[in-house]
Amino acid sequence: MESLWDETEAAQFEGDLGQCVYLARLLGQQGFLFSQAGTSVSVKVGEQNIFREDETFLYVSGSRQRLAAIESRGFARLRLRVLVRLVAMGTLSGAELAKATESAAVDSGALALSPNILVHAVVPAKYVAHVHSDGVLALANSPDGLARLAGAYADTVTVIPYARSGAELAARCAAQMPVACRDNDGGLVLMQQGILAYGETPQRCYERVVELVSLAKSHIAETKSPAFLAPSVSFSAPSAPLRLELAALRQEVSTSAGFPLIMSTDSSPKSVSFARRNDVGTLSQRGPASPDHVAWTRHAPLVGRDVTAYAAGEREASRAWATSDRAPRVILDPEFGMCAVGRSAQEAATVGDLYRHTMDIILASESLGGYVPLPVDVASAAFLALDEAAVRESDEQLMFVGEVALVTGAASGIGRACVQAFLERGAAVVGLDISPDVVRLYDGPGYLGLRCDMTDEDAVCQALEAAVRAYGGLDMLVPNAGVFPKGCPIASLSMAEWRRVMAVNLDANLVLMREAYPLLRCAPRKGRVVVMSSRNVPAPGPGAVAYSASKAALTQMARIAALEWGGDGIRVNMLNPHAVFDTGIWTEEVLNARAAHYGITVEQYKRNNVLGAEIASRDVAELAAEMCGPLFSKTTGAQVPIDGGSNRVI
């Protein structure tokens, strides 16, 4: 593991907290050596409290933050003296620790906090990093793990036997600190819980992580058996479409859990090869590499086995869990590799990241004589309690948590606003557009942007395949992509222009809805479709025959879909927006021309409706999202105008 510390970059981060942000980002960039789940970074800062008294505060990264892109707002601020007193109280239950930690928080906001903040509190050094190193966990989970760790570090650091996360672990670390914390610069190796590195400067803390991770990695390379593990397995990436099978599997898992779940598929050589091992059924059931990780693999009520492994030829028999009230968080399948399941896209991404590291840890431990983790029942109740509280809070605030929405024409205008509206309600969102801008529209695991020509049938099918592999299925569909050509009377309209408009506005949506239908049938809460139609359907205008006819045909198709799909519980409704001026077609030139045509100003033209209201993309998007929600649960086949009231329609 090489040091990435750069003095020039570090200088751009101001203050103690800024330096801690840089430290966290560096660790996030080297996540291939340790999972981000449970990794935390902190700094102790002297500040004045509300009474203008000097006090030391602990800034610690939230447990659900992406370290590689963390900002200062991703750190919770807590009173250090309160945390230290909690350690002195002895072992606390998960609920007690969660409540006590809240009392120490000054402005943590909605950040989820790990109980290992108590470990950060008892270390006197200014900067602390807790990292679940793959190498340390591989050594710890091998036979005679404690002795192996002691040998790997040759008495350069203290190895602390396993203790439950929270007050128990913090107390054990504190007891070793007088010996291990010389000059506030060093580290501890925590059995089954990784590395605790610290330093008076962020650079020294970071370099201590590099040093301790590298020692474990080198020791494994030197001591592992060259002939180890089970028979080698061949790898061939799945080539046939899997979206129907994956959507059905997600439906089974969600039914078992009792609520919708995101399911991300990893068909990399590592995952497929591991899933094809003839001993995967036993290896995967021995337990997690670290008890701290149980919080990510067993949220209540997902309290079944951490992993369901499909053995070759026994896939259907392996799905017995789907008939009970228990659901897995990781699914291994010899055909498509690994599926990571989570309440949200972020959770699924964390579970996937964690288990990819777990596979490496399992194989490394096996090379050292066998993978022998702690039993699951010794998992940290404190970690679980804090994490479950965060999940409950998330569920209460987000309408579409665990669900997947797909929006076409997503790079701008109404489509882009729809993406944002669904993301804000907790959905994972797939955005399709012919513009490459759609790919970088939003950053994070909850958004997947795909460049797609909607008139290309193969491209549409490939996009749906990618969407399902990313999130497991499809719950909500917003066919929004379309073209609005320049005005042209019927007498001058060419067949080429007619066909171009029909291909985009009508034919492409037929393919999309046809291919999406079997996926919507598998939606845990039943599928929903909101078709972006137009006011031109009930009130066409001269010079817009191709556009008006295409939208009228699209509306008729949607009405028929509502009739045909209602038996599957799929709702299909239509929106008729008009004069949405913050979209690409309404340039300043066009606005001026239309206003002049009516003999009014541009501002008057924008509000030329019964209510005198200006319609924005955001208005349309909010209504589209709400039509997929519970308020419209008993509505299908509806055509809802959003135009401020058109005297031509009313």
Q: How many CA atoms lie within 13 A of 239 on its CB side?
A: 2
Residue 298: what pLDDT?
Answer: 45
Distance CA 33, CA 131 (A): 10
Q: For residue 621, what pLDDT band results from cuts at 50, 70 and 90?
A: very high
Q: Which long-range contacts (CB under 8 A, 24 or more apart) does 351-355 make?
A: 351/37, 351/296, 351/297, 352/264, 352/266, 353/31, 353/35, 353/36, 353/37, 354/35, 354/37, 354/293, 354/296, 354/297, 355/297, 355/307, 355/330
Give dist(CA 444, CA 260) in Å, integer.
20
**Mean pLDDT for all residues in the chain:** 85
Distance between the two ends of the chain, CA-based, in angstroms?
A: 69
Q: Per-residue pLDDT averaged across 279-305, rounded?
A: 63
Quick one: pLDDT at residue 306?
A: 38
How much is the pLDDT for 308? Answer: 41
Nearest to 306 by CA among 328, 282, 279, 321: 328
250-277 residue pLDDT tens: 999 999 889 999 999 999 999 999 988 8
* CA atoms of 166 and 66, how far apart (whole Å): 22
pLDDT at 290 over 80: yes
- Three-state DSSP class for 309? strand
Specify the pLDDT at position 374: 81
Report the pLDDT value the prediction gives residue 89, as an integer from 0 to 100: 75
Range with the poorest average pLDDT among 148-157, 610-619, 627-636: 148-157
- Spatial neighbors of 589 by CB under 8 A, at least 6 apart, are none
- Comparing CA positions, the residue from 512, 433, 452 lying closest to residue 479 is 512
- Residue 376 scores a pLDDT above 80: no
**Integer Cα distance of 602 and 301 in angstroms:** 56
- Give dist(CA 28, CA 206) in Å, integer: 11
Across the strands, what pairs with 143? none
Q: Specify the pLDDT at position 238.
A: 67
Assess whether the previous peptide bond of 334 is cis (omega < 30° from 0).
no
Q: Is residue 365 packed enough to be buried (19+ CB in 10 Å), middle (13-18) or exposed (0-12)?
A: buried
Distance between CA 416 and CA 508 in Å, rounded? 19
Sequence-ordered list of residues with C-beta below 8 angstroms from that of 220, at least 6 positions apart, any chain = 135, 138, 139, 364, 367, 368
pLDDT at 12: 95
Q: Is pLDDT at 388 greater than 60 in this prediction?
A: no
3-class SS at 19? Answer: helix
- Closest Cα to residue 468, out of 418, 539, 528, 516? 516
What was the pLDDT predicted at 282?
A: 86
**pLDDT value at residue 383:** 39
> Facing residues of 47 across strands?
55
Q: Which of 26-40, 176-190, 322-336, 629-643 tops mean pLDDT?
A: 629-643
Lookup result for tokens 């707002």: 73
**Residues whose CB is less than 8 angstroms from the CB of residue 297 and which lie 6 or more positions away in sequence, other chains included:** 288, 306, 307, 329, 330, 351, 354, 355
181-212 residue pLDDT tens: 555 667 889 888 889 999 999 999 999 999 99
CB-based contact 583:590 (threshold 8 Å): no
Q: What is the pLDDT of residue 108?
A: 57
Task: Show the domains of the chain with their CATH numbers.
Answer: 7-223 (3.40.225.10), 243-394 (no CATH), 404-584+615-642 (3.40.50.720)
What count of Cα atoms within 13 Å lies in the side-chain half-sphere of residue 646?
19
With a pLDDT cut of 70, the percent of the chain lying above it is 85
Catalytic residue positions? 547
Element (H, E) at 647: none
pLDDT in tens, 8-25: 999 999 999 999 999 999
* pLDDT reported for residue 299: 34
Please compute, for residue 223, the number of CA atoms within 13 A of its CA located in the half-sphere on the CB side.
19
Phi (first) and psi of residue 242, to 5 degrees: -115, 0
pLDDT at res. 231: 46
